[in-house]
Structure 1
């Protein structure tokens, strides 16, 4: 098991005990945003010549006062153990476990034209009945080539209920039967 995943598992267990699943999720991604946007933060964090105590003091200035004390302690623990490299990976392992607990599923919805909330609500109900998806997070993409209908992509599953998909299926069947 990857070390970053072990830290994320520990955080998930702690978050469940403390009733802070969502707080930890948000805080971990605030720190991840620091990685993406603040070069000084990254330079300090990965400066291996700097003493641990000095590094923790300098990193303290970047850690938002709104961050949960457990998340701040995680950052300090990683610095103490010289495992700073794991910090940008932990949020993604945490997200994976968090989504599983919360029943969140990212669903890509591909349609020929924009859809309203009513259609997404119907898709949501269908996903719950058919696949047990409790909380779909929809990402709608418009693709004029599919003519009509809808294509859903989630959890390595593809549901193709498009006119283009039906025509392609008929085409394959005709070619197969002609041979």
Structure 2
């Protein structure tokens, strides 16, 4: 999570409004796409933070660029523009993501494996490890890492569960050398 108090306030307002409208999941999906757009196009944030353009012109640009976006998200972007807080947009999105996950009982997890996981494997990992971290389910991002040799390494927040073959071999090597 971010350390920005401002981002937390905007994200909280966005989250509360999306909950009132029953659109939390939809807003969260769209925010993930917007996060990608802002991360891949650093010029976009610079353009919207630039003093060269009036707030009205910036709003027109946002409305044109994100014409298909949910009105709740568009209005949040307009509020950020009005408050000259566009530099906080990615932090607001990250905070919203955390709030939505917490409300839904979901945790984000990275699963490192030597090959893509099947749906059955992903569901099994989610079911097994979600309860260990006090959540109902995990949103899994599968990352291919051939250096593991076999098995998986799971990262949920700052917790790591490593059952990879490379980790087991390293442990065995430490035990043999240490004896």
Residue 75 of structure 1 is aligned with which of 62, 74, 77? 77
Query: How many Å apart are 1:45 and its aligned residue?
Result: 1.8
Residue 14 of structure 2 is aligned with which of 11, 15, 19? 11
Q: TM-score, normalised by structure 1?
A: 0.76
Quote the residue 1:120 is aligned against: 122
The RMSD of aligned alpha carbons is 2.8
Quote the residue 1:172 is aligned against: 174
Q: 1:68 to 1:114 in 2, by over 3 A?
A: closer
Query: How many Å apart are 1:114 and its aligned residue?
Result: 4.5
Mapped to 2, the partners of 1:140 and 1:54 lie a distance apart of: 41
Q: 1:31 to 1:167 in 2, by over 3 A?
A: closer
Mapped to 2, the partners of 1:54 and 1:142 lie a distance apart of: 44
Q: TM-score, normalised by structure 2?
A: 0.76
3-state DSSP of counterpart to 1:89: helix
Quote the residue 1:99 is aligned against: 101
Quote the residue 1:62 is aligned against: 65
How many residues align? The count is 175
Mapped to 2, the partners of 1:145 and 1:63 lie a distance apart of: 40
After superposing the two structures, state which structure 1 stretch, 72-81 or 128-137, moved more: 128-137
Mapped to 1, the partners of 2:169 and 2:34 lie a distance apart of: 48
Query: How many Å apart are 1:43 and its aligned residue?
Result: 5.8
Quote the residue 1:149 is aligned against: 151
> Conserved in 1, the CA contact under 8 Å of 2:114 and 2:144?
yes
Quote the residue 2:89 is aligned against: 87
Mapped to 2, the partners of 1:115 and 1:50 lie a distance apart of: 47
Measured against aligned partners, the alpha-carbon deviations of 1:80-101 in whole angstroms (never above 9, x if no partner) come to 2222222233212211222222
Residue 164 of structure 2 is aligned with which of 145, 151, 162? 162
When Rg is computed on C-alpha atoms for both structures, the one with the higher figure is 1
